Amino acid sequence: MIFLKTNAELEVIRANGIILGQAHAEVAKIIKPGVTTKELDKVAYEFIKDSKGHPSFLNYNVSGNKFPASLCISINDVVVHGIPSHYQLKDGEIVSIDCGVYKDGFHADSAYTYAIGDVKEDTLKLMRTTKESLYLAIEQAVFGKRVGDIGFAIQDYCENLGFTIVRELVGHGVGKSLHEKPEVANYGKRGDGTKLKENMVIAIEPMVNLGKKAIHQEHDGWTIRTQDRKPSAHYEHTVAVKKGKADILTTFKFIEEVISKSEYIVNI
């Protein structure tokens, strides 16, 4: 079942999206070589808790396997669901950080990929393309369109620039549950799939690879890598479907203010 939100519920999700954007920014402030991914996770956890929210991913349960952290931190060839550890960030790496905030009965979900220091140009192009495809997809998240229009926008743009789309992982509805119907694939045909209705809330999250589209899951039951070990980028917004123009409920504003002042993160 697809749950349409009231306007009041959209404002709850938007408020959570602000907390989420600020949490991302607090994490971004300490991204530099030598910092461990566990340290990043601790910053997010404490900020969300101080904001009277709960990290959506912490103890998220899939078939009895609970995710053990507040952030999914995915480095280089890790597509999504990387588990924070004592691994130290290095110059030249890219780091995708996915986070959710649950407060007042609703979730908000967003992701952002960071380039640290001397990152290769083809990888920076991958990041730019993935982020641009997110906004092209959001343009399709309007009343009367279908989820296939969203997927087509991402696939067409990225593949025409030589990149590949992960097929097994998709966007999703967001609301009282972190993952709701409908699934929102990053590939598809125009005019295909579930029809978009006003006040439907979805997470649009292109996951795009530099090399081939094939992925595999690590033994921890969470970490997803590219099979060819080439980099992958990931950006995500939570969006409300509206007539004429989608309403973006999460924000990158705070993240990008930090990046503009950072000596370690590349402004792509």
- Per-chain mean pLDDT for the chain: 98
- Give the mean pLDDT of 63-87: 97
pLDDT in tens, 146-167: 999 999 999 999 999 999 999 9
- Give the mean pLDDT of 240-247: 98
Residue 46: pLDDT band (50, 70, 90) is: very high
Q: Which of 209, 34, 196, 236 is nearest to 117 (CA)?
A: 34
**pLDDT for the residue numbered 260:** 98
Question: Is pTM beyond 0.75 here?
Answer: yes
Q: CATH homologous superfamily of domain 7-261?
A: Creatinase/methionine aminopeptidase superfamily (3.90.230.10)
Cα distance from N-terminal residue to C-terminal residue, the chain: 39
The rounded distance, in Å, linking the Cα atoms of 148 and 87 is 38
Residue 266: pLDDT band (50, 70, 90) is: very high
* DSSP assignment of 9-76: HHHHHHHHHHHHHHHHHHHHTT-STT-BHHHHHHHHHHHHHHTT-EETTTT-EETTEE--SSEEEEET
Q: Which of 140, 146, 136, 133 is nearest to 207 (CA)?
A: 133
The rounded distance, in Å, linking the Cα atoms of 120 and 156 is 24
